Amino acid sequence: MTMFDLDEILKSRRDTRHFTDDEVPDSVIEKALQAGHWAPSVGLTDATKYYLIKSTEIKKAIKELFLDYDKKATNQTDNEQQKSQYQALKLEAIEEASLGLVICYDRSVLNNFTIGTVGSNEAIKFSAVCAAQNIWLSLTEQGYSMGWVSILNYYEFKKLLGLPENIEPLGYFCVGKPATNYENQPMLQQLNWKQKLEKPFVEEISKLHLNNEVTPVELGGKMVTDFDLSEALQYKINNKTKPAGSLGMLEVLAKQIGMVFQTLEPKIIQPNMVIFAADHGIANHGVSAYPQDVTRQMVINFLEGGAAINVFCKQHNIQLSIVDSGVNYDFSTNTNLISAKIAKGTQSFLHGAAMSATELDLCFAKGSKIVKAIAETGSNCIGFGEMGIGNTSTASVLMSVILGLPIEDCVGKGTGVDDEKLLFKNEILRKVIENYKGSDDLDSKLAYFGGFEIFQMAGGMIEAYNNNMLILVDGFICSIAFLIAFKKNPGIIQNAIFCHQSAEQAHMKLLNYLNAKSILNLNLRLGEGTGCAVAFPIIQSAVAFLNEMASFESAGVSKK
């Protein structure tokens, strides 16, 4: 046979849908199946199996299976013209073809590896596909052909044929003498459904992709690039040695982190926690259980390593930074404190604006600068915490005016006020909102009702998103900062992990608005970023299982 003859056979091979009444001689099918047997077989496992169907009764039952599934395929479109065109196609010849062939692969061979090889469920499937192609070419050379029917419920198909659990069919193949050559082109091309490209896609890859870039890898029988990374991550998660979905929230986190870092093997590098501290003029009106000076005292406690957040960051090896965003105190210049002071606390918004428009802009700029410096160290994960007596009142008012909710839906006990003081807090904040006569745009409301540390966090979160960092959001007040960042750049939600649901009653409403789910619900209401630090090991566990847990294939474990 000349190479020209082989080319002609390759070009004339068709997925045939129209057959004559001619029988397929035994010698023809034997020669074709021998050609299939000569196909590549991974590890010489001989996993490909063939079943012949000549029974009219079985063919009829298989056709009914096809028609049931075909009806579902038809209903996938609401376009009546497209539906009509699809129904007019002859998609099978199960009863018309004189012979039926079921090409299968046997998963049980994976329990008997050839020495020196590693078994792969996908590779033995590919061996069976190679066999199918050889059979097709042999039939074509002998003047016969084949049609591949894959529109089937495979579970029902196996049950109908009595196939063992370990035998997996590629589909049902109609074999016979072709009634037409479809004008020497594929039927869908002949009917102008789709034209086959004249030349194959070929591209040389000459650059090695590193630094978390996703290089094409084989998953589930296809080459995966960052274009379909979401599907690849889900495939990787689903094929770990566990029932699908059994790791719950960890699976959601693993996929999210993989998408943020654009890789199938994400790593968290140099995690940082940043606490922004500032005072609030509204605290002077008795809305908190603690005096304003506690802000200063707690900042010193942070610097001396005595607060809860210090303990948790040390426990989980998280770098901790403390920022003076606007505390009503002059700290010593030789302390390990990031100075980003806007002023010594905001003004009381009971009587006027908390800050100026210039101070608002400065907050965003300073918060951005702090996070940018952290990102430049190589960190790709940052948690946000806060400290500021009175800042739950500020956060509640911001939530009310941004989302248009009654103040009662946005106010909680904060640092722990009693019921009587909570009523007072509600009344004074309602009065604050009623007194507002400013513009309706977001920035005007932010400047009037805001807090320095809240806006520095918002600016920092936006910068973290711009640097493709994981953003760990603490409780209610940090979530208000995130709400502001989200209003300015909605894409930021992709990078955010909400670490806990605060005991503040408004926090759940806010999470629902953001369509977000928190990792923990421990009745925390301390702030300081403690929820982020406590949740961090769970985030690490999500990364660890994605990167280190065995797959069904690598462990040789059967899926079902």
CATH number at residue 502: 3.40.50.10210
The yes-or-no answer on residue 528 being catalytic is yes
Describe the crossing of helices 442-449 and 476-488 by its angle, rounded to 10 degrees: 150
Do residues 338 and 435 share a domain?
yes
Assigned domain for 226 exists: no
Q: What span, in angstroms and rounded, lies between the C-alpha atoms of 501 and 525?
A: 9
| Neighbour count for residue 468 (Cβ, 10 Å) | 14
The domain boundary residue, chosen from 128, 150, 183: 183
Whether residues 362 and 502 share a domain: the answer is yes
Contact partners, residue 405, CB within 8 Å, separation at least 6 = 399, 509
CA distances from 57 to 60, 169, 175, 251, 491 (A): 5, 20, 17, 46, 57
- Give the span between the Cα atoms of 309 and 530, in whole angstroms: 5
Q: Which token pair is 432?
A: 């604050």
In this structure, the answer to whether residues 35 and 136 fall within a common structural domain is yes
Q: How many separate domains does the chain show?
A: 2
Shared domain check, 29 and 135: yes
The answer to the question of residue 295 being in a domain is yes
Which pair of tokens denotes residue 520?
A: 């923990």
* Cβ atoms of 552 and 242 closer than 8 Å: no
Dist CA 340 CA 400 (whole Å): 27
Beta strands in 407-543 (DSSP E): 470-473, 496-498
124 and 15 housed in the same domain: yes
Domain that holds residue 16: 6-72+87-183
Antiparallel, parallel or unpaired: β 222-224 and 217-219: antiparallel
Q: For the packed helices 452-466 and 391-403, what is the interaxial angle rounded to 10 degrees?
A: 60
Q: What is the CATH number of the domain that holds 152?
A: 3.40.109.10
Residue 551, helix vs strand vs coil:
strand
- Per the domain annotation, does 231 fall within a domain? no
pTM of the model: 0.61
Q: How many CB atoms lie within 10 A of CB 113?
A: 13
Same domain, yes or no, for 459 and 324? yes
- pLDDT of the residue at 425: 83
For residue 548, tell me if it sits in a domain: no
Q: Same domain for 161 and 293? A: no
State the Cα–Cα distance between residues 75 and 231, nearest whole angstrom: 24
pLDDT tens for each residue of 120-138: 567 788 889 999 999 999 9
350: in domain = yes
Tell me if 454 is assigned to some domain.
Answer: yes
pLDDT tens track of the chain, all 560 residues?
Answer: 444 487 777 766 666 777 888 999 999 999 999 999 998 876 667 889 999 999 999 999 988 888 877 666 556 556 666 556 555 555 568 888 999 999 998 888 766 555 444 455 677 888 899 999 999 999 989 999 888 888 778 888 999 999 988 888 998 999 999 887 655 655 554 555 555 566 666 676 666 655 444 445 555 455 555 447 888 899 999 989 888 888 999 999 999 999 999 999 999 999 999 999 999 988 888 777 788 899 999 999 999 999 999 999 999 999 999 999 999 998 988 889 999 999 999 998 988 999 999 999 999 999 999 999 999 999 999 999 999 999 999 999 999 999 999 998 998 755 555 667 678 888 889 998 988 988 999 999 999 999 999 999 999 999 999 999 999 999 999 999 999 999 999 999 999 999 999 888 899 999 999 999 999 999 888 889 999 999 999 999 999 999 999 887 776 776 66
Residue 79 lies in a domain: no
pLDDT at residue number 196 = 53
Would you list the DSSP string of 485-514? HHHH-GGGGGGEEE-B--SSHHHHHHHHHT
Residue 155, pLDDT score: 81
The answer to whether the CB of 176 falls within 8 A of the CB of 19 is: yes
* Residue showing tokens 């990031």: 338
Indicate if 438 and 339 belong to the same structural domain: yes
C-alpha span between 500 and 524 (Å, rounded): 8
Q: Is residue 170 part of a domain?
A: yes
Q: Are 283 and 164 members of one domain?
A: no
Residue pair 425/393 in contact by the 8 Å Cβ criterion: yes
Given the residues 204, 453, 528, 548, the one annotated as active site: 528
Tell me the three state secondary structure of residue 139: helix
Nearest Cα residue to 213 out of 193, 227, 199: 227
How far is residue 76 from each of residues 73, 154, 406, 538, measured CA to CA in Å?
Answer: 5, 19, 45, 40
Q: Select from 129, 149, 183 the last residue of a domain.
A: 183
DSSP sequence for 315-378: HTT-EEEEEEEE-SS---TTSS-EE---SSSPPPTTTS-SS-HHHHHHHHHHHHHHHHHHHTTT
Determine how β-strand 338-339 pairs with β-strand 319-326: parallel
Q: What was the pLDDT predicted at 334?
A: 82
First to last CA, the chain: 46
Pick the last residue of a domain from 183, 205, 239: 183
